[in-house]
Amino acid sequence: MSALTLTPRALYVEVAEQLRQRIFRRELEPGSWIDELKIAEEFGISRTPLREALKVLAAEGLVTMKVRRGAYVTEMSDKDLRDVYHLLSLLESDAAGVVATTATPAQLKELQDLHDELEAAASERERFFAVNERFHMRLLELADNRWRSQMVADLRKVMKLNRHNSLLKQGRIEDSLNEHRAILAAMVARDGKATVKAMQAHFAQGLEAAA
C-alpha cells in the first residue's frame, strides 16, 4: 500500500484566516469596502483564491457581497445583534444545563481552571476575550453536541464584529466575571435549571452592554 500524501491547506483557506483576523482586529472596519486588487497585490496572489476566501467569509456572515460593488465587512444592525445574542443564549444555556448534570469532577475542575485564568486576565482586554471564548467553547465541547457547537462557533464569529463595544462599557468585565461565577456555582451544585438561568442572565447582560 502506498503512503498517504497530505496536501497543504488550500491557499484560499489561509487567505480567509488572514482576512478574518484583520476583521477581528478592526484593521478592516465594519462597513468598509474590501479592495481586492490591493489585498491580492499585498498577499502576492491572484484574485481567484482571494475571491474564494471572500466567499468563505460571506458564508460566515463576516463579509457582505454587494452586486456590482464588491465585498464589504459586515455591519451589525441592532436587530442583528439582538438576534445573535438570542440564539447564543438559547444554545449555550441549554449546553450549560447539560454540563451541570453530566460533567465529571475533572471536567468541572477544568472549567474552574479556565475561569481562574479569566479572573487573572481581567486587566488585559484582548487576553480576556481569548480566555472567555475558550471557556465558552470548552463548555460546548463538554455538552457533546457537534451541531450545536458548530452553530455557536459561527455565531460567535459574527458576534466578534461588535465584541469590543460590549466590553468597553465601564464595569462590564467585572460584571461578566460575576456572571461567570454564578454559572460555575450552579454547575458545581449540579443544578441544571439554575445553570440555564445563570447563562441566560449572562447573555442578557452582555446584550445590554453591547447595544
The mean pLDDT of 86-107, rounded to a whole number, is 98
Decide if 11-73 and 78-210 have a common fold.
no
DSSP class of 28 = S
User: CB of 53 within 8 A of CB of 16?
Assistant: yes
Chain Cα centroid distance, residue 90: 15
Conformational region of residue 127, where left means phi above 0, alpha means psi within -120 to 50, and beta covers everything else: alpha
- Gap between the Cα atoms of 58 and 35, Å rounded: 15
Q: What is the percentage of the chain residues whose pLDDT exceeds 90?
A: 77
User: CB of 13 within 8 A of CB of 56?
Assistant: yes
> How confident is the model at residue 160, as a pLDDT?
85
Indicate if the pLDDT at residue 179 is higher than 70. yes
Topology (CATH) of 11-73: Arc Repressor Mutant, subunit A (1.10.10)
Band (pLDDT 50/70/90 cuts) for residue 166 is: low
- In tens, the pLDDT along 42-86 reads 999 999 999 999 999 999 999 999 988 999 999 988 899 999 999
User: 65 - beta bridge partners?
Assistant: 71
CATH number of 78-210: 1.20.120.530
> How confident is the model at residue 165, as a pLDDT?
56
- Gap between the Cα atoms of 105 and 109, Å rounded: 6
- Gap between the Cα atoms of 55 and 104, Å rounded: 41
Length of the chain equals: 211
- In tens, the pLDDT along 115-138 reads 999 999 999 988 998 999 999 999
Give the contacts of 166 (CB within 8 A, at least 6 positions apart). 172, 206, 209, 210
- The structural domains of the chain, with segments of one domain joined by +, span 11-73, 78-210
- Average model confidence (pLDDT) across the chain: 91
For the question of whether the overall pTM of this predicted structure is more than 0.85, the answer is no
> How confident is the model at residue 170, as a pLDDT?
73
Q: Where are the alpha helices (DSSP H) in the chain?
A: 11-24, 36-43, 47-60, 78-102, 105-120, 125-143, 146-159, 163-168, 172-188, 192-210
Band (pLDDT 50/70/90 cuts) for residue 164 is: low
